[in-house]
Every structure is written in C-alpha cells, then in structure tokens.
A = this chain, B = another copy of it.
C-alpha cells in the first residue's frame, strides 16, 4: 500500500520554491535544508503523521495533494482541509512545540519533502525573514478557517458544495473537447462530506439535488459544469 520511493533533488530547483516559506533563503541556507530533508514519492493512503504525534519537522508538498484529517473524541475521523503543491504542512505544531492536532494523509500521488526540525530551528534564528513568512502563513490559514467558519454558518450544504467545487475547479479544472468545463474531485464522497461538515448520506442527497437541478453532471469523481454562472452565483462567488 505504501508504495514509496526515495530520491534527492535540491530545493534550488524546486519549481514551487518561490511560493513557500523558503523563498527568502539564500543558496547556502537552502543547502542546509537540502541536507536535512528527505524527499519521498508516495501514493494515496500514506500517512505523513498522526494526530497526537510530537512534531519532528515540517512537510513541504512538492506536488500532489495532502489531506488533514481530524479524529474526534468518539473516534470519528473526518477530512478537515486539503493542502496542495507548494504549501507546507505541520508547521504550526512544530513552531508551537505541540503535538499535531490532526493527521496528514496523501490523497493523490505526491512528492513530499520532510525537513527535520533541527535545520529549521537553526535557520529561524539566523534568518528572521523565515519566521516572518511563517507568521504570514499562519495569519492566512487563520483567515481561511474563519471564512469557512462563517460560510458554514450562513450557507446551506448545497451552496457550500458548489463553493468547494469551484475551489477545486480553479486548481484542477480543465475544458474537455466539447469545451465543457470539468474537474475531477480529488477526494472520496465521505471525505467530501467531511470537508463540508455534513454526513455522507447528506452528501449523497446534495449530489443528487444539484444534478436534478441541472447545475452539474457527476460521473464518479468527474464533475461537468452545465450552468457555470448559476453555480458561481449559488456558491456566493462574485466576480
């Protein structure tokens, strides 16, 4: 199941370097990270870390998709958030020296670098810009959480689903031969329900409803947008 293989490449050549916290580091500092990192190609199902584990470093997603999963006190696990190419995962637990508050799981084939804590700690004192980047990241994560919080309050499940559809579309969307906008949802139905904060049964019904209304067509994980403007409208997306 964990069909992993290791490899090595320099951060200098990382295509998403300029969108990560490491963007301000010089060649020498990047080399320090290279020395402390472990790059791994993993397939879906692989666990990067478990909720409750002590943070031992930071994970940097070179390509692919990682899901953050939270397990509540009753043992119910549910997907909380997805993180894609060019983002770092687990930095909050590491920086606040606490245990991971959720688990990280590979959702689609991905390349992920693990950077050991010691190197980061050293760089943090040497280069204050690095801390500044993490600060910005934390603030933007906060804002994202806050807006999904209010979205859950003010929109119903259907609108929330259409919203997340658009989020996926902006990232993975494509136009088919016929010109129809399409997107492949990168998660299972159950996980989709978790992201929206509803039960799997409700997810199913929502899916049924949006199809009956002719907004989209759903085939397994592939979604075709039939009335894009209406979808955007109901999703509460202006522009």
Complex CA–CA separation, A150 to B71 (angstroms): 10
Residue of B70, B92, B131 near A142 (CB, 8 A) is: B92
Chain A: how many interface residues by the 8 Å CB criterion?
Answer: 27
Binary flags per residue of A124-143, CB closer than 8 Å to B gives 1, else 0: 01001001101110111111
Among A139, A141, A152, which residue has the most Cβ atoms of chain B within 10 A?
A: A139
One complex includes copies of this chain to the number of 2
Complex CA–CA separation, A138 to B138 (angstroms): 6
Residue of B72, B101, B143, B153 near A146 (CB, 8 A) is: B101
Tell me if A167 is interfacial: C-beta within 8 Å of chain B: no
Identify which of residues 79-125 in chain A touch chain B, using a CB-to-CB cut-off of 8 Å.
92, 95-96, 101, 125
Complex CA–CA separation, A138 to B141 (angstroms): 10
Say what secondary structure dominates the interface of chain A: helix
* Least CB separation from A134: chain B residue: B135
Binding site for B on A (CB under 8 A): 70, 72, 92, 95-96, 101, 125, 128, 131-132, 134-136, 138-143, 145-146, 149-150, 152-154, 197
A96 with B146: CB separation less than 8 A? no
A131 → chain B, closest Cβ, in Å? 5
Contacting residues, chain B, for A197 (C-beta < 8 A): 153
Complex CA–CA separation, A15 to B10 (angstroms): 50
B101 with A136: CB separation less than 8 A? no
Complex CA–CA separation, A190 to B134 (angstroms): 37
Residue of B72, B128, B140 near A128 (CB, 8 A) is: B128
6 interchain pairs, CB-CB under 8 A: A72-B150, A95-B135, A95-B136, A96-B140, A134-B135, A149-B149
Among A70, A135, A197, which residue has the most Cβ atoms of chain B within 10 A?
A: A135
